[in-house]
Amino acid sequence: MVKYIDGDIVKGKVTGIENYGIFLSFDDGSSGLVHISEISDGFVKNVNEYANIGDYISVKVLSVESDSHYKLSIKALSSKLNKNKHCHINETTSGFENLRIKLNEWVRDFDSKN
């Protein structure tokens, strides 16, 4: 019997980590996979940087694969949080002029620090 449905946010225990994703188990004996593409909005070079075996992590249920296996997402949680933030960029009449003026200074500062 399916305990969770699409869209549920649940906490599971990390039981395995592979190059392609993170495996979780849940209290009822069901399990799921967070595919590498569902870990972060950014590039994931090493899945091990996002979880350790034994960790408990929150995930969103994307779909029910079978009675005891789920397709899961970590990034869907952060995307949901970020959608509530509104970012408005005001354009200026100078366009890229400020960038042109400051670029050489920024490069010099960077070179002097490295």
Q: Are 49 and 85 in contact (CB under 8 A)?
A: no
What pLDDT, on a 0 to 100 scale, did the predictor assign at position 67? 75
All domains of the chain, ordered by start, with CATH?
A: 9-113 (2.40.50.140)
Q: Quick one: pLDDT at residue 106?
A: 86
Structure confidence at residue 90 (pLDDT)? 64
Which residue is associated with the tokens 């990034």? 75
HSE-up of residue 53 (Cα within 13 Å, Cβ side): 4
Contact by Cβ (8 Å): 58, 81: no
User: For position 48, what pLDDT does the model report?
Assistant: 94
Local confidence pLDDT in tens for the 114 residues of the chain? 678 889 999 999 999 999 999 999 999 899 999 999 999 988 999 999 999 999 999 999 999 988 789 999 999 987 544 555 555 556 667 777 877 888 888 888 888 887
Does residue 29 contact residue 35 with C-beta atoms inside 8 Å? no
Three-class SS of residue 34?
strand
The reported pLDDT for the residue numbered 101 is: 84
Chain Cα centroid distance, residue 59:
10
Q: What's the confidence (pLDDT) of residue 36? A: 96
pLDDT at position 73: 96
The pTM for the full model equals 0.67
